[in-house]
Structure formats: C-alpha cells, structure tokens
C-alpha cells in the first residue's frame, strides 16, 4: 500500500469515526436559518444604515420567514403527520425541531413588530413619512377615504356571511383577510354572527393621502385601515362587534411525481394552482382578536395555538417593501453607484476579441452585468456565430437575456436553452419564457427529471479562420439583470479550449441521453463536485500532517452536507487553518476543542446579498481557486446539476484571494459564529473600521 493510499484510508477512517458523528457537533439547519433572519432583522436596528433601507431589512426578514414556513416548516409538518422519526446529523426529530421553531419564531415575530412600532415608525415620522391611523384622520381625510372606499374599494369587495349556504371560504395563501363578528339579522333573517372579508389583491396595501386633505407629501393609510373604517357599510342593518385582520400561510412546495411524469411542463403547470391552497402551516391574527374568534379560525385551518402568531400591526410586513419606491427621499436610501467595466471591455469594439486575449472576471454588482448581455447580443448579430446554448434558472420579467436569445433564434442561429421549470416561486415566469423562446424557434429543454439544473453557463460557438471556437460564460448567480444589482456574484468570460469543451459536454449531457463524459477543467454535480471538494480538503489535511502550512477559505450561502463538515473537522484536527464566510445556514460548529479549533465561521450581512461561492485551497503553494453555482448542501451536491469552475489566470486568482481577504477583515458587517451556535457581531475596537462591500464599492464603482 502506497503512502498516498494509506493517507486516504486514514482520512476516510477519521471522517467515519464516531467522534466526528457526535450530534452535538452539528447545528440544526432550521435553527441556523432562523438565526440568519435574526441577523437580517438586526440591520433594521442599525442606525448607520439609511432609514428606508432599515425598513427594507425588516421586510426582508418578514418575507424570508414566510418562505421558511411555506417550505421548511411545511415539510417538517408533513413528516410529523407521516410519523417520521428520521433525524439529521444533530439527531433532532421533526417533532422536536417544530417545537423549537415555534418558540424561536414567536420571539422573532414579536421582535419584528417591536422594531416596527418602537423604532422605525417613530423614526419615519420624524422624517415626515407617516402612516396615519384612523383615529387621527381629520374631516377632509375622512371624506377622501370615504370617497376612495365607495368608488375604488366597495365595487370589488365580496363579503361572505358564514352560514350553511356560505361555508368558510378557501383562503388564498398569504392573502389579507378580515373576520367580522356581527350581531342582528340580515334581510333574510340569517344570524350566523360571522363573516369574512377578503382584501382585493388588485389594490395596493399602502395608499398615499392627497396633500389637499391637510396631509403631508408622504402621508399614507393602509388599505386595511380603510376596510376597518367602513366595514359597517358592508352589513347594513347589522351591528359589527369586531373586525380583525388575519392571514394564513400554506405549504407552497410543488409536488411532481418524477417517476410518473410524462411531460414536465404540463406537470408543473398543473401543480401551480395548488400552491395557492396547500395545507395550512401558520395563522397570523391581529393581537386584539378575541380568544373565541382565534379558536374559530384555528379550527377552520386545523391548526393549534402554537401555529398562531398574534401581531401588533399589519399582518404582512413585507407589504411595506414598496414604501421606499413611493417616497422620493434619496437621503434615506443607499447612495447610487455606477458599476465599472474591465478596461479590456471598456476600450474594445469586439467582445470576442477581448475574451480571446484572456479570461475576464466580473464581480457583480460592483462590476456591470452589461458585458454578459452584450456577449449574448453580439453572438445574436455576429454572422460568424453558429450556435448559442444557455441555462436559465431565474431571469425576471422583460429579460434582456431572453430578448437576445430570441433575436439569435430569429436570425437563424442554433439556439438551445435549458430552462429549469422548478426554480422555486419562478415556475410560472419560466414557463412563459420557455414558450416565448420556442415561438422564436429556439430549442427548449427542461433539464433532467429528478435533478434541478442550477448551473449558470453560456456557450457560444463561433467560426474563426475555418475552425470552430468556443466562448463561454460561467457564473455563481442567475442571469437576472435586477438581482445583479443586489446580489454579489462572480462571472467569468473565457475562450479556453478545454473549458469550452467541458461546457459543450455538459450541454450534450443535459439535452441528450448517455453516460456522463469525463471533464477536464470543471467539477460537476451530481458526479464530481462533492468528491472533488472532499479530495481537496483531504489534500490540505495531508499537507498539514507533513508539518507544512495548509489553508482553506470558502465563501458561500450555506454549509449543510454532513460529509463535507466531517472532512473539515478532520482537516482542522490535522492543523489546517479554515476560514468559512457563510451568509446563511451553517450546520458546522466551530471552535470545539479537539475538533474544530482551527475553523472560523463568519457571516456578512450588508447592503448586498452575499451570493458568491468561492473555494480556495493553498495546495502546498500551488494555489487553487474555484467559483461555483453550488453551496455545500445535500441538494446542490447530490440532486442538482451544478458547475464549479477553476480560475487559473494568475492575476485573476490573486484578485479573488485579495477580495476574500476583505471579507475576512470585515469588522463592520460581520457576525462570527460561536461554538454555542450563537452569532456575535464584530466591532472595529482599536482596529481600522473595514467593510468588504464598501471597499469593493470604493475600488470598483463610481458614486452617482
């Protein structure tokens, strides 16, 4: 047995040891996700953040929590119903996890409304941005509201009295509703005592009051306040004894039987309507709702008291997300900036010539997303381009990327697009763009049944001097122009022959049938990415055991996969210095004596959503650095099609390592994970204040 084989066997044995499988070494995934939402909420309290952006952070924490219930809690509740006792590495059963979620989520929701009522609303009022309460309306405001109610609201309201002929209605997922308690008899002698009023989805939840009513330029009323004020008018001759907001959250995960499905497009289309009426998982009610009315609602939704959240304010905080767009106060938002262009692109008339000179790296949003769109537009109009192939996961409405692909298809080029129909909450939009592409003459496929296509890649085939040449774009984020201004992501443009051939093989794998081909440069899920990461962690471990410096830096959204975590623990025990920059979920527990003392974990929460996935290995001085579409999660490594690409240009590699260093030096927006599972926010202390995002803005952007 060779020394290398012995080391491999030793590493595997260490990974499989009972010591590294101990449940106390693993943080529960759901608890870690709730902790991330708490860090987001903390941004709403940060006085160094512009006021309207603080409101956005509050809304983001609320919408994140919605999705958490729609997907994660819903899945756990299904497991409890099925009496599943399967536990993760932390050894918590689904029932135990749900109980902990209930306790922590109730605390989180209470804090969200405290931040709204005690911090943000008073601060907004000081800036003359007001939400005028009913009891504060003057005579002109009351008259205007009444006119709005009669002409804009009343014609589309359909109050439903509850009786044997009018059973409790099906309540749309996350819609705003009111339960009204009544006394007296209606025109037909009915005395049900209860009615439901559903707020129209067609109307905004925030309505600006005109200045001629004595209001300021930024005075608003909630649609719910208008309904409350005039609910009596909906039930003439009866007495309204109470009117209370409520909202129900439902299971929103789509189910497609992948063994039985014949047509994935039709299957997903058929499942979309059910998302609106999935099983109930959470009830939110106004905190002044009487106990007997709450009990009535709980019984209708088959929920228990621990699934009910009584809130002191609007039942959907995320609706406040639109306020900054309604208020012209640039002094209360983040300063505008202009993303830069790499100099080679800025001074080149031909993007293909620019790429042919060497790989180009783009760091969004600090560097512009326009080169990606220009790459596609140039390919669409270039007579030497024969084919374009691209994966699409999320693109957004009115996508310039899709328009370029349509243009190329209409120009007679071979356009192949792998559209992932099951991109959560974007399924409907993706079906629409798939139809648009097909109508233009593009070949549209939907990836591999059972494996979401999450890879971000473009291949352009161009004839040059009688030969075909491949140009590629590979990225860590979606081809979505709007999120490219909000998310941090890396993208690389390259004409490297081996890289182009790998991307070509991947597209063949996605669109045809056959065994996976061996790739030269790329690592790919579900085949080589997981083993490739384990092997590189093992290699660093061998270097450390030989008494040499060994280092791993990894930046991504989440670390969950148990074998990766065990490999990192084994590496730490050998002396490998490991820095993890993990925005969201981290199930690894750092700083445990004898196990993870050499692992440090930090989370950066700032203006931009950290989305880059970068993996650095010191490799005995022969540094390797990769960027990827995949996090270290089970789904990314085992049940998705993902790409992980090397950055081999020395200057680009040095740049990425330098930028990783900014995140490790950040002492303004960083949170450090402690061995007890809590996060502590860093402070500069005596050190120079440093923010990674601010440094990148300063170095790469221009302030508008």
Phi, psi (5° rounding) for residue 24?
-70, -10
Closest CA to 666 of 631, 694, 686, 697: 694
- With 0-12 / 13-18 / 19 or more C-beta atoms within 10 angstroms meaning exposed / middle / buried, residue 466 is exposed
Taking a C-beta distance cutoff of 8 angstroms, is the pair 391, 453 a contact?
Answer: yes
In the structure, how many helices (H) and strands (E) does the chain have?
Answer: 22, 29
CA distance 619 to 588: 23
Q: What does the block give as tokens for 29? A: 């995934």
Q: Which of 454, 480, 530, 611 is catalytic?
A: 454
Which strand (E) or helix (H) includes residue 460? strand 457-464
Question: How far apart are alpha carbons 293 and 168 in whole angstroms?
Answer: 13
- Assigned token pair, 8: 């491999």
| Residue in the structure block whose two tokens are 């007679």 | 412
User: What is the total residue count of the chain?
Assistant: 704
Instruction: Report how far Cα 483 is from the mean position of its chain's Cα atoms.
Output: 10
Task: List the structure tokens of 535.
Answer: 């092997």
Alpha-carbon torsion 499, 614, 660, 605, what sign?
positive
Whole-angstrom distance, CA of residue 419 vs CA of residue 511: 11
- Distance CA(453)–CA(436), nearest Å, equals 20
Contacts of 540 (CB under 8 A, 6+ apart): 550, 551, 552, 571, 576, 617, 618, 619
Extended strands (E) in 326-456: 337-338, 360-364, 385-392, 414-419, 443-445, 452-453
Name the residue with tokens 């309505």: 207
CA angle 89, 92, 98 (to 5 degrees): 130
Sign of CA dihedral 582, 586, 592, 596: negative
Residues 6+ apart with CB under 8 A from 289: 179, 242, 244, 246, 310
Catalytic residue list contains 473: no
Give the C-alpha separation, 349 to 353, whole Å: 8
- Report how far apart, in Å, the C-alpha atoms of 638 and of each of 72, 126, 452, 563, 699 are: 19, 52, 10, 12, 38
Q: For 588-695, where are the E strands, in sequence order?
A: 599-604, 609-610, 614-617, 624-628, 640-646, 670-673, 679-681
Please enumerate in sequence order all residues whose Cβ is within 8 A of that of 293, keeping only pairs 6 or more positions apart, or say none: 179, 181, 242, 244
CB atoms within 10 A of CB 546: 11
Q: How far apart are CA 553 and CA 661, in angstroms?
A: 9
**Residue linked to tokens 């929920």:** 303
Q: Residue 615's closest CA among 604, 634, 628?
A: 628
**In angstroms, what is the C-alpha Rg of the chain?**
28
Q: What are phi and psi of 321, to 5 degrees?
A: -60, -30
What interhelical angle do 650-665 and 692-700 show, nearest 10? 140
Under 8 Å between Cβ of 318 and 63: yes
- Residue in this structure with the two tokens 């409405």, named with its chain if needed: 397
Which residues are part of the catalytic machinery? 454
């Amino acid at each position: 047995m060779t020394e290398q084989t012995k080391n491999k066997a030793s590493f595997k044995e260490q990974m499989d040891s009972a010591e590294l499988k101990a449940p106390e070494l693993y943080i529960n995934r759901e608890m870690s996700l709730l902790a991330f939402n708490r860090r987001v909420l903390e941004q709403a309290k940060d006085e160094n953040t512009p006021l309207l952006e603080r409101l956005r952070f509050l809304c983001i924490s609320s919408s994140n929590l919605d999705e958490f219930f729609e997907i994660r809690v819903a899945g756990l509740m299904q497991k409890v119903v099925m009496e599943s006792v399967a536990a993760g590495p932390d050894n918590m059963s689904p029932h135990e996890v749900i109980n902990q979620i209930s306790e922590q989520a109730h605390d989180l929701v209470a804090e969200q409304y405290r931040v709204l009522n005690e911090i943000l609303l008073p601060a907004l009022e000081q800036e003359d941005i007001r939400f005028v309460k009913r009891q504060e309306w003057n005579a002109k405001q009351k008259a205007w509201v009444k006119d709005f109610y009669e002409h804009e609201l009343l014609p589309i309201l359909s109050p439903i009295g509850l009786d044997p002929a009018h059973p409790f209605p099906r309540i749309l997922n996350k819609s705003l509703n009111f339960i009204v308690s009544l006394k007296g008899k209606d025109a037909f002698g009915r005395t049900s005592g209860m009615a439901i009023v559903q707020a129209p989805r067609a109307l905004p939840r925030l309505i600006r009051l005109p200045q001629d009513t004595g209001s300021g330029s930024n005075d608003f009323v909630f649609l719910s306040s208008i309904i409350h004020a005039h609910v009596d008018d909906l039930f003439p001759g009866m007495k309204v004894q109470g009117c209370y907001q409520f909202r129900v959250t439902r299971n929103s995960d789509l189910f497609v039987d992948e063994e039985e499905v014949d047509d994935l497009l039709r299957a997903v289309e058929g499942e979309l309507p059910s998302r609106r009426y999935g099983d109930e998982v959470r009830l939110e009610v106004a905190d002044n709702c009487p106990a007997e009315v709450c009990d009535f609602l709980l019984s209708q939704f088959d929920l228990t008291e621990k699934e009910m959240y009584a809130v002191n304010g609007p039942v959907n905080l995320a609706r406040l997300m639109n306020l900054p767009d309604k208020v012209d106060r640039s002094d209360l938002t983040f300063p505008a900036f202009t993303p830069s262009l790499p100099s080679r692109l800025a001074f080149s008339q031909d993007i293909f010539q620019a790429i042919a000179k060497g790989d180009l790296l783009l760091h969004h949003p600090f560097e512009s997303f326009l080169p990606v769109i220009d790459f596609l537009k140039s390919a669409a109009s270039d007579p030497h381009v024969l084919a374009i192939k691209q994966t699409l996961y999320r693109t957004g409405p009115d996508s310039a990327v899709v328009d370029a692909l349509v243009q190329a298809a209409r120009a007679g080029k071979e356009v192949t697009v792998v559209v992932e129909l099951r991109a959560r909450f974007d399924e409907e939009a993706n079906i629409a763009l798939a139809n648009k592409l097909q109508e233009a003459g593009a070949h549209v496929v939907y990836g591999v049944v059972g494996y979401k296509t999450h890879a971000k890649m473009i291949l352009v085939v161009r004839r040059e001097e009688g030969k075909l040449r491949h140009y590629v774009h590979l990225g860590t984020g979606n081809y979505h122009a709007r999120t490219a201004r909000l998310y941090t992501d890396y993208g690389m443009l390259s004409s490297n022959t081996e890289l182009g051939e790998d991307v070509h093989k991947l597209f063949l794998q996605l669109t045809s049938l056959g065994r996976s081909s061996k790739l030269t440069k790329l690592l790919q899920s579900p085949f080589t990415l997981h083993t490739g990461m384990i092997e590189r962690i093992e290699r660093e471990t061998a270097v450390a055991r030989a008494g040499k410096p060994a280092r791993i830096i990894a930046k991504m959204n989440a670390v969950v996969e148990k074998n990766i975590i065990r490999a990192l623990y084994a590496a730490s025990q050998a002396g490998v210095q490991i820095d993890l920059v993990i925005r969201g979920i981290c199930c690894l527990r750092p700083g445990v004596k004898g196990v993870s003392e050499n692992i440090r974990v930090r989370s950066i929460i700032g203006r931009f959503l950290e989305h880059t996935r970068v993996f650095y290995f010191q490799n005995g001085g022969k540094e390797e650095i990769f960027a990827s579409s995949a996090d270290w999660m089970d789904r990314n490594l085992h049940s998705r099609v993902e790409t992980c690409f090397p950055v081999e240009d020395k200057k680009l590699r040095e740049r990425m390592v330098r930028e990783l260093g900014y995140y490790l030096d950040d002492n303004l927006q960083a949170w450090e994970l402690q061995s007890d599972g809590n996060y502590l926010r860093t402070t500069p202390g005596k050190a120079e204040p440093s923010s990674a995002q601010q440094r990148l803005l300063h170095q790469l952007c221009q302030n508008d």
